[in-house]
Amino acid sequence: MIHIVWPWIFLFLPLPFLVRRVLPRAMSFKGAAVYAPFVLNTGIRSGQDVQAAQRKKVFLASLVWVLLVLAGVRPQWLGPPIELPESGRALMLAVDISGSMEVPDLDVSGNQVSRLDVVKEVAGDFIFRRSGDRLGLILFGTNAYIQAPLTFDRQTVRTLLEEAEIGMAGKNTAIGDALGLAVKRLRERNDGKAALILLTDGANTAGKVPPRQAADLAASTGLRIYTIGVGADAFRVQGLFGKRTVNPSRDLDEDTLRYIAEKTGGVYFRAKNKEGLEEIYEKLDVLEPVEGDGRVVRSVSSLYFYPLGAAFLLSIIWGLFTVRPQRRKTA
């Protein structure tokens, strides 16, 4: 879009007309006429030619003035709005995608939905709300890896979480390796604005780093870790003699998750359904508040030199038209 910086300059547009109306005309010299028949064909223009030339000069002069006023208002072209995120918190999400996350024990509107599908929806909304923060994503199963490094691009992190599938990192659970990877990525953020949100439904069954040892290392670097244990307490399954109730979260190591959170200054949460998980992420918004939205800026390109350059060229043409010598016709 075009933006005018000094629109009040447009008030000068009628100035030449006002000056011509207010100030007296310049005195013209009317001397005696000399009859010279020998110069009748010397190229002297008629009165109509003089008036036409005068009108052309007035038109050019007016056009030059309009262009100068257009240059004076400082027109600018504003580019599309660009959001520059503020330097907020660094939040890393570590999500368990081991085989047990496929268990459909979470109730959503009367339907049994897998743990990972519920996490994708709830954590995805959490990611979308974190405007101004740098977000990263760790996926872990038998192995742990960075799916998304710290970035301001929330939509990309959310998309990568939605594309996560069970078994991408193996069927087991390497909680300690996920913690160690997060510490490696966040250890340089010692300003108190770095945190890890770890979500799992089981116990550490794989990896090289014990979870408690990784928690001690995280505490030494000042990294806060919030842990979430997800999974229902009761789930009806079909058995040989009919349906029976089982505890699908019997493998959840709550003691270790609680130790990790308390050691690093975080909090341990227990999510048994979708509503409980939503409440947890709302509490995390309070514990790690968003510091503010990013600033919106636009690229600015000055346009004043276009009318100014056109006025300069027309001034040259007007000057040449005014001082053009009279050509004599030979007899």
What's the pLDDT tens digit per position in 193-236? Answer: 789 999 999 899 999 999 999 999 999 998 999 999 998 886 66
Among 78-92, 144-158, 278-292, top mean pLDDT goes to 144-158
pLDDT of residue 329: 46
**pLDDT recorded at residue 232:** 83
Reported as a single tens digit per residue, the pLDDT across 95-147 is: 999 998 998 878 777 778 888 999 999 999 999 998 878 899 999 999 999 99
List where CATH 3.40.50.410 sits in the chain: 86-287
Q: Tell me what percent of the residues of the chain surpass a pLDDT of 90.
A: 37
> Does the pTM of the predicted model rise above 0.85?
no
* CATH architecture of the region 86-287: 3-Layer(aba) Sandwich (3.40)
Distance, in Å, from the CA atom of 117 to the CA atom of 123, rounded to the nearest integer, reads 10
Helix residue ranges per DSSP H, 210-330: 211-221, 254-264, 274-287, 305-322
Residue 293 has pLDDT above 70, yes or no: no
Token pair of 242, please?
Answer: 């009919």
Q: Any residues with CB less than 8 A from the CB of 179 and at least 6 apart, and which?
A: 94, 196, 198, 209, 211, 214, 215, 217, 218, 225, 260
Instruction: Name 216's Cβ contacts closer than 8 Å, sequence gap at least 6.
Output: 263
Chain Cα centroid distance, residue 299: 13
Segment 30-83, tens digit of pLDDT: 554 554 454 444 444 555 665 666 677 777 777 888 888 888 888 887 777 766
CA distance 179 to 260: 9
Provide the β-strand partners of residue 226: 197
Q: Round to whole Å and give the CA distance between 76 and 310.
A: 17
**What pLDDT does residue 331 have?**
43
Picking from 220-229, 232-241, 277-286, which range would have the lowest pLDDT averaged per residue? 232-241
Closest alpha carbon to 206 in 169, 248, 249, 261: 169
What's the pLDDT band for 244 if we cut at 50, 70, 90?
A: low
43 conformational bin, left if phi > 0, alpha if psi -120 to 50, beta if neither: left
Chain segment 257-273, per-residue pLDDT in tens? 999 999 999 999 999 88
Residue 155 burial (CB count, 10 A): 9
